[in-house]
Structure formats: C-alpha cells, structure tokens
Amino acid sequence: MTKDELKVGEVVARRDLHARFGGTPQGGISPSTQAQMVMVFVAERPSPDDFTGWGEDGTFHLSGAGMHGDQEMTRGNLALLRHKEQGRAVHLFHQLRRHSDEPGRLYRHLGRFEVDAEQPYYVADAADANGHMRTVIVFRLRPVGATVPDGPRLPVTPLTETRITRAPEFSAEFTIRERRQPQETAGAIVKRLTADYARHLNGLGREVVTAQVRVKGETWVARVDLLDATENRLIEVKHSATRQSVRTAIGALMDYRRFFHPTPTLTLLVPAAPREDLLDLCASLCIEVVWPNYGGGGFTSTHD
C-alpha cells in the first residue's frame, strides 16, 4: 500500500475499502493480509456501555470484538494486539451519519494508530448484546503521525494511578424530614438518611464529606456515601435493612476500604434496625450498624 492510497480525513464506503485492501466486511476489527493492515471501524455513536472513544490521555480507547460473553484475545483482537510483530498498520475509521439517499455506510479515515507500548489494553465490565454483564477488552490506540480528532469521546478515562477525591463538606443547609414519607423512593430514603446523619455528626463536631475513588486502569468510579474524616470512618447508606441490602453494603465497604490509608473503620447506615442475624453478620466483620432513633431523636449504633 502506498502513502497516497489512503489519505487522512478521506471519506469512503466500507465496501470500497475492502475492495481495495481486503479484510472482512463484518465486525469492528478487520485484519487483512492482502494489504498488511488492520482496519478498525467505529460506530457513529457507540452505546453508553461501549468503552470506545478518545480519552483524556491522548489515546483512542477501543472495545474489542465479541458481542456475547466474555471477550477473548483471539481472532481480530489478537491480530490488533500483535499488529506490530506481524508487520500490519492499524487504520481507524469513524462511521458518518447516514442520509436516506446513500447506498451504504460511509466512514472517515481518522488516521494511522498503534497499540500503546506500555498499556496495550485493559479489561472492563460491560453489558453484552443481550444485556448480560461480561468482561470486555479495551485497547488503547496511540496516534502515529497526523490524525483527525473526530469520533466519540470517553465520559471517563481510566487513570494510571488510583485517585481519591473529596467533595465539599456537608453543612446545615441540608434540610430533611425526620421520617419516611408515603411513596418515598429508595433514592429519596438514601438522600434523607445521608443528610440527617451528616447533620448529626456535624453537631458532634465531626468533619463529614463524600468521596469518589477512581481506580487505576478502571473506568468504574466508586462513590462513598459519607466519610467521617474526623474518626476515619467509611459510611455506606442503604434504603432498607433487608439481607440483600446488607450484603450489598458489606461488599461495597470492603471494596472501598482498601484504597484509604490509614485503614478506616466501616459503618452501615440503614433506616431501621436489621434482624439479629444480620447484626451478627456485620459484627463478625467489625462493621458498625447505625439507624435512626425517631422516638428519642438521634441514632442508635451497635458500637454504643
């Protein structure tokens, strides 16, 4: 393939690309031995669960091939990963909006890319074509030479190091009702409990904030409901005291705890006292359980 056969910014139909350079007409990753290249095709607007687009790190993130089940490093994915050792150039094409009078899909050539040498790919969780959660391979493609900065952009770019960000301190401006109201949603219950407990802790002279944890190499963002910075406590808030809610909270607290130093203590805040067995479960894991004491005011804690 000579340099003038494929120009950066060129708009071309996919069928014409395959007629010129070979490769398979289906799928997002199309290796071709005929032209020693790997063509990558990106949808006009990837779905929200698709980790495809320009990242803040200057690379183009591309979800691997495979619509069902966990993605594997085979076929097109493997060809993309090994394109350098196989002597193949990677060319990226972005699908353009289709007009009614056009016979086929048109793509703009964004330029030539290569898999990043330090971190060629990472693994993330996403829904497959049937809505089932699975693991996907996400390639990091670095531009080679001139490129067109068109195409989708990632809402969240994975970091190269774990980062914890604190939100502004809670204050008395949070005005809430003290009891559950009829038809109150789960989200409203969590918001009410969070604000009520934050106000309670503020009254005790505690510094109370929220926090976000962005994990190295992940697009997932962990949102800590409350952080008692004075006592170094992570607080997870749930809308009910059912077994499912308690078990979910335990998993979240155990997950978050490992990112904080020094290691914090753990607290579960629920709207009512859980059953005895669930209290025993939390006690066995040294997790404090707190719930409102609406009759006498304040909160009841298993650590009192």
DSSP 3-state of 159: strand
* Highest averaged pLDDT of the listed ranges 110-114, 163-167, 172-176, 214-218: 110-114
Q: Which of 3-12, 15-24, 77-86, 288-297 has the lowest mean pLDDT?
A: 3-12
What is the β-pairing status of strands 265-269 and 287-292?
Answer: parallel
- For residue 262, pLDDT beyond 80: yes
- For residue 3, pLDDT beyond 50: no
pLDDT (mean) for 194-203: 92
The predicted pLDDT at position 62 comes to: 95
How large a percentage of the chain has pLDDT more than 90? 64
The predicted pLDDT at position 103 comes to: 62
Between CA 90 and CA 84 the distance in angstroms is 9
Q: What is the mean pLDDT of the chain?
A: 87
- For residue 171, pLDDT beyond 60: no
Residue 167 binned pLDDT confidence (cut-offs 50, 70, 90) = low
8 Å CB contact between 37 and 89? yes
- The domains of the chain, with CATH numbers, are 3-147 (2.30.280.10), 163-301 (3.40.1350.10)
Nearest one of 3, 2, 6, 29 to 17, comparing CA atoms: 6
Residue 158 binned pLDDT confidence (cut-offs 50, 70, 90) = confident
The predicted pLDDT at position 169 comes to: 54
pLDDT (mean) for 39-63: 89
Q: Is the peptide bond before 262 cis (omega within 30 degrees of 0)?
A: yes
30-40 pLDDT, tens per residue? 999 889 999 99
Would you tell me the crossing angle of helices 243-257 and 276-284 to the nearest 10 degrees? 10
Between CA 168 and CA 182 the distance in angstroms is 31
**Top-confidence residue, 286 or 167:** 286
Residue 285 binned pLDDT confidence (cut-offs 50, 70, 90) = very high
- For residue 2, pLDDT beyond 50: no
8 Å CB contact between 136 and 52? no
The predicted pLDDT at position 274 comes to: 96
Residue 111 Ramachandran class (φ > 0 left, ψ -120 to 50 alpha, else beta): left
The predicted pLDDT at position 178 comes to: 47
* Highest averaged pLDDT of the listed ranges 145-154, 159-168, 185-194, 265-274: 265-274
**Top-confidence residue, 79 or 295:** 79
**Top-confidence residue, 274 or 165:** 274
8 Å CB contact between 230 and 211? no
The predicted pLDDT at position 182 comes to: 64
8 Å CB contact between 256 and 234? yes
- For residue 166, pLDDT beyond 80: no
* Highest averaged pLDDT of the listed ranges 5-9, 114-118, 126-130, 167-171: 114-118
100-153 pLDDT, tens per residue? 555 668 999 999 999 999 999 998 888 887 888 899 999 999 999 999 988 999
8 Å CB contact between 270 and 302? no
**Top-confidence residue, 176 or 166:** 166
The predicted pLDDT at position 1 comes to: 43
Nearest one of 261, 187, 263, 183 to 225, comparing CA atoms: 187
